[in-house]
Amino acid sequence: MRKKIFWLIHDLSVGGAERTTVDFLSMFADAGYETTLFLVKRSGAFLERLDPRVRVVSPDVSSLRNALYPLAAALRTVRPDLIFSNLTHLNIAAISLSRILNLDAKVYAFEHSSPSLNNACSLKEKLLSAVAAYAYRQADRILAVSDGAAADIVRTMRLPRSRISVIYNPLDLAYLEAAARESSGVPAVDRAEKPLIVAVGRFEPAKNFAFLLRAFRLVRDRFDSRLILIGDGSEAVSLRELTRTLDLADSVFFPGFCENPYAFMARANVLACSSVYEGFNRTIAEALALGVPVVSVDCPSGPAEILADGAFGRLTPPGDLDAFAAALTEALAPVSEFERDRLRKRGAEFSLSKIFSSLERVLNETD
């Protein structure tokens, strides 16, 4: 009899947790599992990439509160062997309902960031983290996306390290390489008219794109180049205003949300990460897989792990604008094919097949 997987996430909008969901569910289907995906809201660009073998259940509501009864009903109907949940509030719900319903299922909760940083902005988030600290003790395993994130969970929630496993965000290399070969839709980029820096992510304070813009002002003073910021979010207007204030309007391009950022990334001289903190940062691993050099602020906690403490990319101290700008300028220099191959091999360490094997080992340990 096939084992049943029940996967819980809010929606399939573009993000690391959502992409991981789509990739892992496809691998579980390949491995012969019966897979069910519960979406609080049936929406998101990644719906189109979802494996057709995955059964989708969704009340299609805006909040988890309104989805609790349908979620409980779905769990009672499916009676899964394995439950996977993503993001703190959904993790709490999955763990609690599995116990209330007395399900004979193993529960695995993904934490995609560092709780002490991600849940420190408001009283509500701090309370959420406190509740999670209790609930997570009832899970069979907490899955962190980096060693740094795992250490933060131990520190913040006082959980035994043995209850936490590190499962890096996986990369679908075949999809990545195919998408990278497509046109960016911007002739100047496709023709590589000028050296190019690319950054990808939500326009939110944690990504610190204002810091990147200020650093690029210094780069632009030394080197005729372009910066492309791919994404959208609450800081979209302020970032555009800062671009004008810094007199960079002719050198910074905002394409908005792109379903295929890899066409830009593959043509970049360097991928930049200016974040205040990260759980993992998939775009760094993706850039390596495409043979693109990386410059990142050495923030907690993913970049240094992906770049092996600087062996596969440049790391600069947090807040050091001059060092970040200097590293970006150096990375604009031509790169040998030998070096690109070295970066690709590092990126391949995060392939979907390898990371899924790591996840299966965790499942076997807790079986």
DSSP secondary structure letters along 126-149: HHHHHHHHHHGGGSSEEEESSHHH
Question: Same domain, yes or no, for 360 and 337?
Answer: no
Is residue 317 located within the same domain as residue 305?
Answer: yes
64 Cβ contact list (under 8 Å, min separation 6): 10, 40, 89, 90, 93
Does 192 lie in the same domain as 158? no
* Structure token digits, residue 17: 């947790």
Alpha carbon distance 282, 286 (integer Å): 6
Distance from C-alpha of 9 to C-alpha of 140, rounded to nearest angstrom? 18
Q: For position 324, what pLDDT does the model report?
A: 98
Full strand arrangement of the beta sheet holding 55-57:
55-57, 34-39, 4-9, 82-86, 106-111, 141-144, 164-166
Say what the pLDDT of residue 120 is: 55
Is 263:312 a contact under the CB 8 Å cutoff? Answer: no
Task: Specify whether the CB–CB gap between 152 and 114 falls below 8 A.
Answer: yes
Alpha-carbon distance values, 254 to 184, 201, 220, 321 (Å): 13, 12, 17, 22
Assess contact for 7 and 33: CB atoms under 8 A. Answer: no
Q: Which amino acid is at 303?
A: P
Q: What residues of the chain score a pLDDT lower than 50?
A: none
- C-alpha closest to that of 106 among 30, 165, 62: 165
SS3 (DSSP) at 113: coil
Q: 187 with 326, same domain? A: yes
CATH of the domain at 256: 3.40.50.2000
Helical (H) or strand (E) element with 197: strand 196-200
Instruction: Indicate whether 97 and 128 sit together in one domain.
Output: yes
Q: Report whether 35 contacts 109 (CB < 8 A).
A: no
Based on the domain organization, do 114 and 134 belong to the same domain? yes
Query: Distance (Å, rounded) from C-alpha 12 to C-alpha 14?
Result: 6
* Cis preceding linkage at 301, omega within 30: yes
Do 104 and 197 lie in one domain? The reply is: no
Q: What integer pLDDT is reported at residue 122 of this predicted model?
A: 62
Residues 56 and 159 in one domain: yes
Which residue, chain included where needed, has tokens 């390949």? 30
* 333 and 246 within one domain: yes
Residue 129 has what pLDDT?
Answer: 79
| 8 A C-beta contact, residue 58 and residue 40 | yes
What is the domain range of residue 301?
173-348
Same domain as 355, residue 344: no
Q: pLDDT at position 207, please?
A: 96
Q: State how many domains the chain has.
A: 2
Looking at the structure, tell me whether residues 96 and 40 fall in a common domain: yes
Q: Are residues 63 and 29 in the same domain?
A: yes
CA 298 to chain centre: 17
Tell me what pLDDT residue 296 has. Answer: 98
So what's the pLDDT on residue 118? Answer: 66
Q: Tokens 């960079």 map to which residue?
A: 248
